[in-house]
Structure 1
């Protein structure tokens, strides 16, 4: 068994798939440089560092209702949110429907008609609308959002380039509604997650706030001083939330990563996302397992069984790490009767998760360091983490916290505290709407 351990470790080291293949200090430096370059006027960076013109308010308005639109993935959610005197969010009149453009391509008029249909039942209940728009969009100084591209699920090419807030209000006005006093704040889900963390009741006096999502994809947001944002030179005082678009961070630890990136759409983009997020951990594991079969690390019997169950997804790989003796799981059945296969497979999948956790920790550590906050252990940085991949993938959260403790707290004397807040996109969008 010791032999299979060393053979597996050598295989992982050869292909850059072990956590040791990630030089944390070098990675932190590269991430920091990319952040700084992305903030410069004309700077070239894989991190877009999108200004949001959204501030972190000290106090959330109490007792005032706000209309919330949450457009994310393939679902469209609308509701009314009110914060009570204790700061607790009350969600009412909630409704969920499908996003326009999922089943078939729609025109811009059809797209915004669906949004207007959902908002109309709430239109007289508030003049403030918080719009969580979870697609790539540039944010304007008046808090509107202009879509840059839709994910493949949404087919609405005419919407690209149109301000979603202003166009929604125009559609409502066409229907006879008075929108002269209506105000819309558009933000993405990661920014909303940060705001939800700020609003959550806590006895801890946090020094800073970070929004972090690790689900199908990944992204991070933090608060930056306006004096450091060269892309909005007219602002000198105060601060605002920056949408890092961290999933696009350009980094490639090994040769197998290059091969995997080449097999994906847009191989030159979203490298970090393709190494840590739920849409890719399974396919990456599939590639690594096949390479292990090719090099004889896993047996011929395993190869024959695996051929019948691949390609695997992130849930399948996580299940094996969680319950490696449960024969109802596909990968457990693949290693049945061969202890070397069973152990090598576990080490491979665990290493992929450990490396993803180290990369995740580097993302968060670099963001904390760039924020300049968290140097007092009594006043840590609040990280509101959202996303099923982070919480449900076996060992990912545990290992991420270990690497943050090792490299950020012990190594840099910076301190963080994780929180998990239900309905973060909805709550954050409500806060943004009330802040207008």
Structure 2
């Protein structure tokens, strides 16, 4: 078990009072400690939910949505050329120029520009929003001396959408403070192209819509062609992977594969994880802006881990097991315990002392050790639950392909994975236990929303070219057959 034991941190005094504290603290932390058997059970539940999400009719009521992305392949190393990437997901958006070099198998970010979106545009008409984006894109093309070239564009649009094709995505609803009229229910690619057409002074080539998780997978896929899983574990969490087309019941076609955006953050929204939710998880959910939604995400992602730790520390304080039973104003304030404190505290006891002082708590050495143990226990559960979900995907890919052993790579991004001192090691160790027939490597993504968006576009362009060449070849074969028939007559 990767979790520490408190008794290894605290030597009991002759009176036994610290031993008593140890036992009572462990009683509160025990619900966070998930056995290998329980993790295997969680993995089996997710497997069932994934099947439901892939179903033609069952997906409407599935907690794990399993959204088709229309990305039909990962990079094969032959992609090359210049691409634009547009990343829109907040009060700023980014435009990038990306160059893909086949000889060196490298994806270079040539340059980028950040453009602000004023409040009046965020709340105005859709036409004004896309006119603003088109104007900023024109400015960027001029600065890069790209005006006159018709470059393909990868479009990362981080709002809830229903994707119909690689270049067709319908906005379901605005979030993040946007409320532009005339966009919900419409195809955002069409709206962007219409805005560019209204200007009439430049054009873009083909457009590929890109989910940020898919971008993570694709940005790694050019460096490692065995990369067919993308995972983000940061403020939020999600994963995607390459599924067999015959299993994607919502999309016509049986051949090949398609990348599926699992939206695994919603795992448990139907109550399937109720038995492993702690009282602290329930409190976090109840006080969130979206109660009952994104259950799995609230147990493992950076937006919520700090608050879970705060609630545990507060409970232990109220029971007079910490800080002499006296919580500070900061400890009583929701959101005051930042998730980055977890990483810092686990990195060393001196950090724990500084942070407890910063929170105006009256602490002693035992308190600092307990705080460190709480942080480790909560982050360890996050890593192991994330591993259970990731192992489900790896095991599914292996089973889909009828392999005795699968070798695959996960493209990964997110601050929890990147910044926490132990998270990646614990995650990888648990994946090895939960997917013993899979050799899973991990590759940290470099700018999935930029380089990844360009790679999705590059792969879509390669497949389209291959399809055209195949059609031309078929046409030539038909002409030859007709000539042969004439000759025979």
* TM-score normalised by structure 2 residue count: 0.80
Q: Does 1:320 align with 2:345?
A: yes
Equivalent residue in structure 1 for 2:249, among 230, 254, 263? 230
2:279 maps to: 255
2:238 maps to: 219
Q: Give, in whole Å, the separation in 2 of the partners of 1:124 and 1:72.
A: 28
1:240 maps to: 258
2:455 maps to: 431
1:406 maps to: 433
**Match runs of 1:56-67 below 5 Å:** 56-67=73-84
Contact 1:137 1:148 in 2 (8 A): yes
Q: Give, in whole Å, the separation in 1 of the partners of 2:282 and 2:354.
A: 30
Q: Give, in whole Å, the separation in 1 of the partners of 2:325 and 2:367.
A: 9
1:92 maps to: 110
CA drift of 1:174 comes to: 0.9
1:345 maps to: 371
Q: Give, in whole Å, the separation in 2 of the partners of 1:101 and 1:192.
A: 28
CA drift of 1:258 comes to: 1.8
1:331 maps to: 356
- Deviation sequence 1:11-53 (CA, Å, 0-9, x none): 112xx23344981111001100000000001212111111011
- Deviation sequence 1:227-282 (CA, Å, 0-9, x none): 001111x2111111000111111134223322221111221110111111111111
Secondary structure of 1:70 counterpart: strand
Q: Does 1:189 align with 2:215?
A: no
Q: Give, in whole Å, the separation in 2 of the partners of 1:81 and 1:25.
A: 41
1:27 maps to: 42
CA drift of 1:329 comes to: 2.9
Q: Give, in whole Å, the separation in 2 of the partners of 1:259 and 1:167.
A: 41
Flag the 1:426–1:242 CA change in 2: closer, same or farther, 3 A. Answer: same
| Aligned-residue RMSD, C-alpha | 2.6
CA drift of 1:81 comes to: 1.4
Q: Does 1:392 align with 2:392?
A: no
Flag the 1:26–1:364 CA change in 2: closer, same or farther, 3 A. Answer: same
CA drift of 1:296 comes to: 2.5
Deviates more, 1:291-300 or 1:128-137: 291-300
CA drift of 1:419 comes to: 0.5
CA drift of 1:160 comes to: 2.1
Contact 1:129 1:183 in 2 (8 A): yes
1:295 maps to: 319
Secondary structure of 1:41 counterpart: coil
Unaligned runs of at least 5 residues, structure 1: none
Task: Give the helix-richer structure, 1 or 2.
Answer: 2
- Deviation sequence 1:319-377 (CA, Å, 0-9, x none): 22223214773325556652332222111111000111111111211111122279676
Contact 2:411 2:445 in 1 (8 A): yes
Flag the 1:101–1:406 CA change in 2: closer, same or farther, 3 A. Answer: farther
Flag the 1:34–1:86 CA change in 2: closer, same or farther, 3 A. Answer: same
Secondary structure of 2:250 counterpart: coil
Q: Give, in whole Å, the separation in 1 of the partners of 2:120 and 2:310.
A: 28
2:475 maps to: none
Q: Give, in whole Å, the separation in 2 of the partners of 1:178 and 1:337.
A: 64
Unaligned runs of at least 5 residues, structure 2: 1-9, 13-18, 142-146, 462-489
Q: Give, in whole Å, the separation in 2 of the partners of 1:57 and 1:394.
A: 31
Aligned length: 424
Q: Does 1:117 align with 2:135?
A: yes
* TM-score normalised by structure 1 residue count: 0.89
Q: Does 1:106 align with 2:124?
A: yes
Flag the 1:327–1:216 CA change in 2: closer, same or farther, 3 A. Answer: closer
Q: Give, in whole Å, the separation in 2 of the partners of 1:30 and 1:419.
A: 27
Question: Could you say which structure has the larger radius of gyration?
Answer: 2
- Deviation sequence 1:178-225 (CA, Å, 0-9, x none): 65x73211111101111112111x4xx62x511111111111000001
Contact 2:232 2:413 in 1 (8 A): yes
Contact 1:147 1:162 in 2 (8 A): yes
Q: Give, in whole Å, the separation in 1 of the partners of 2:90 and 2:394.
A: 28
Q: Give, in whole Å, the separation in 1 of the partners of 2:52 and 2:414.
A: 28
Q: Give, in whole Å, the separation in 2 of the partners of 1:339 and 1:367.
A: 43
**Match runs of 1:4-153 below 5 Å:** 4-13=21-30, 16-20=31-35, 23-43=38-58, 44-84=61-101, 85-99=103-117, 101=119, 105-120=123-138, 121-122=140-141, 124-153=148-177
CA drift of 1:63 comes to: 4.1
CA drift of 1:100 comes to: 5.6
Contact 1:51 1:242 in 2 (8 A): yes
CA drift of 1:105 comes to: 1.9
CA drift of 1:129 comes to: 1.0
Contact 2:148 2:202 in 1 (8 A): no
Deviates more, 1:65-74 or 1:26-35: 65-74
Contact 2:324 2:362 in 1 (8 A): no
Flag the 1:113–1:178 CA change in 2: closer, same or farther, 3 A. Answer: closer
CA drift of 1:104 comes to: 5.1
Q: Give, in whole Å, the separation in 2 of the partners of 1:328 and 1:10.
A: 24
CA drift of 1:112 comes to: 0.7
